[in-house]
Chains A and B, each alone.
Chain A
């Protein structure tokens, strides 16, 4: 390979960074997508993400097994999802308000329990090397892929297939698009939404475990910086389609990787501006992909934002 080594470095760094940064986005957005497909919005996933990060780190530290940490983060996420699903079932309860309070609750709880884990160092998730064929160190380093990313791709494909080809998939879509139709079919709408929110919480918890156990790779309170909320925008951008969620996550990941990638070749001017890229991208995407005169295409009919 020839060409400008600086550009090469930036591209490789961005590739690696996109994969790294997109992984939590992918998990949270898939979880949010599944929840929204059932007809509820869970804005609490930001809190779930942070709590997942803390609990995964704590478990990994105590047991020495990062994978057990990932599992526990998922289970904690499900518990938050169950709380959201249960509260929303009560009469006159608004899912968005519950989501916001659970977001604050999740982050607060994580900070409370997490104070003890800021200092110690816990075992982290290993990465899988796909770069053995190359002797270019940059390529080898870029192809150190984290296993959760691969799991996320598999999950996206599975959800895409499952929503079309399984009974549970059809039930979730039915519940999300028309609660009266679901009731007429004898579907327990609240239970479907509870389970979908729990599954969504599980994915978001896993997304959180990635933050503390792989990249950045330690537990701090400023770990998430709003990724759980950006995932909501990402789901709208992806039009509730699992595969599109993957591409959208990758795009957000690449935007997030821009600042560090440029810094790696010594361009530090505008570093903070490039770090803000995902947020600017979120805003930009929301503006161009929606219109005041048009309702959102592909949105589940039961969502409180589209009703």
Chain B
């Protein structure tokens, strides 16, 4: 494929339109009569909450699903897309939210294997020349000879996009393309893509929930809610308020709890020089020292993979500490069950089914993890009494509005928001002195997000010391009293929230600024 470079500059952007696209799964209408038009060379944003039908729509366009009704036009000609390969053949490619690169293969190998016409025996000298010629034609630069596992998130995302361009796809669907990038990396990638659309080389349909990126880079927007198009138009005619109202609709969103003033500044949780290794025995966190006071939320911002998960694992006793100490109320603390209980340390995190719940155990059992070995659930040592456990679960289910058929339902059958609410009930229903929270709202709908953030704020106002690790900068900006930035396993920046802003934090997230 020595003419790869030539082909890229030769072909122009294509336009795609859906007409009355409807997809019904069993009894659920995931997409209801959705018609959108993406003009050639435009940058189109698709906004909507989780479960609004964005993914279903693009999966129909890519041929992963066959729509129940409706059709698709490419450059005003009707097409049928039976599978992703057919979509690729007409020039439609997709960059997924999770990377689809092969970690142990190099960038060059990833590109070559992605091609439909990879030769049986690969002549690497020839391929290398062709790849370099192709790279000349694009604004993205990525090292070719390093295994992908060694690339940064920004480089991986660029490589994903490069792969689609290399395959000569002229209509790119991007699914939340910036969720793993620093704000600066996101701006770079979107800016370059924007440039390519303006040059008429590419058309982009981007799924996003970040209004900032939509207003800065998109020409047009379509908003979906519960599978229907509820609005859209030219981005310059719409305000952020307009768009968010379209996304949320009439749903009642719980008001964020007011931030109560904390009279005394009493030190509660202190991390003193924490060091820990990752699974490769390489240093994951280095010299983490933080002080959190009573009634304070300390937010740790940073792009995922910079040591946050290792820090959380250390604090919850899932990873051995190599060096350093943890103090609560100036007394040494080790994250073991008895000490968590004594010091009233609680916590929850993203994807609770993977991290803090046992999926196949019942809601009642999952809710009793903190109390099952104490009276009244365990009246004698080693014995469990199911009745108090169920009674307690019933109270919590009512208090935290967990939607579940019964206390005996396996917790994995609940929706994401309800699982998180059940865990919240377990962790927050007693006295909380220290709360350790990681990405609590990841993948949840607006109503649940508002609910959970309000609960965190309530705990702060009641005097808990809260460590909040979040990849969502908006969450940190909304909740934290003090912000710290974690980059490459170190705290690189720390400031009271009042004395900093988004741009400063964003630069610190990228490191060395």
Residues on A lying within 8 angstroms of B by beta carbon are 165-168, 170-171, 173-174, 177-178, 180-182, 184-186, 291, 293-295, 297-298, 300-301
Contact = CB atoms under 8 A, between A and B. Distances in A.
Contact of B104 (A167, A168, A177, A186): A177
Nearest to A169: B122
A221 to B, nearest CB: 41
A295 B280 contact: yes
B113 interface: yes
A126 B114 CA distance: 46
A170 B112 contact: yes
Given A184-B84, A297-B280, A173 B102 contact: yes
Interface in B277-301: 277, 279-281
Given A165-B121, A184-B84, A185-B113, A170 B105 contact: yes
A294 B281 contact: yes
A294 B120 contact: no
B128 interface: no
B120 A167 contact: yes
Interface string B91-115: 0000010111111110001001110
A184 B124 contact: no
B279 A295 contact: yes
A174 B105 contact: yes
Interface of B: 83-85, 96, 98-105, 109, 112-114, 118-122, 124, 277, 279-281, 320
Contacts of A301: 103-104
Contacts of B280: 294-295, 297
Contacts of B113: 167, 170-171, 174, 185
Contacts of A173: 102, 104-105
B320 A180 contact: no
A297 B114 CA distance: 25
A173 B101 CA distance: 12
A294 B279 contact: yes
A186 B119 contact: no
Nearest to B320: A293
B100 A184 contact: yes
Contacts of B281: 291, 293-294
Top 7 nearest A-B pairs by Cβ distance? Answer: A184-B100, A170-B113, A295-B279, A167-B118, A294-B281, A181-B100, A174-B102
B100 A165 contact: no
Given A184-B84, A291-B281, A295-B279, A168 B100 contact: no
B259 to A, nearest CB: 41
Contacts of A181: 99-102
Nearest to A185: B114
A13 to B, nearest CB: 41
A300 B100 contact: no
Contact of B85 (A168, A171, A182, A186): A186
A294 B101 CA distance: 23
A167 B122 CA distance: 7
B252 to A, nearest CB: 37
B105 A293 contact: no
Given A174-B113, A185-B113, A180 B98 contact: yes
B122 A165 contact: yes
Contacts of B96: 184
B146 to A, nearest CB: 15
A31 to B, nearest CB: 20
Nearest to A300: B104
Given A178-B102, A181-B101, A167 B119 contact: yes
Contacts of B109: 170
A186 B88 CA distance: 11
Contacts of B103: 177-178, 301
A132 B216 CA distance: 80
Contacts of B122: 165-167, 170
B168 to A, nearest CB: 15
A168 B113 CA distance: 9
Contacts of A166: 120-122
A250 B398 CA distance: 67
Contacts of B99: 181
B490 to A, nearest CB: 21
Contacts of B118: 167, 170
Contacts of B277: 293
Nearest to B113: A170
Given A177-B103, A181-B101, 12 more contacts: A165-B124, A167-B113, A167-B119, A167-B120, A173-B102, A174-B113, A180-B98, A181-B102, A184-B96, A293-B279, A293-B281, A295-B280
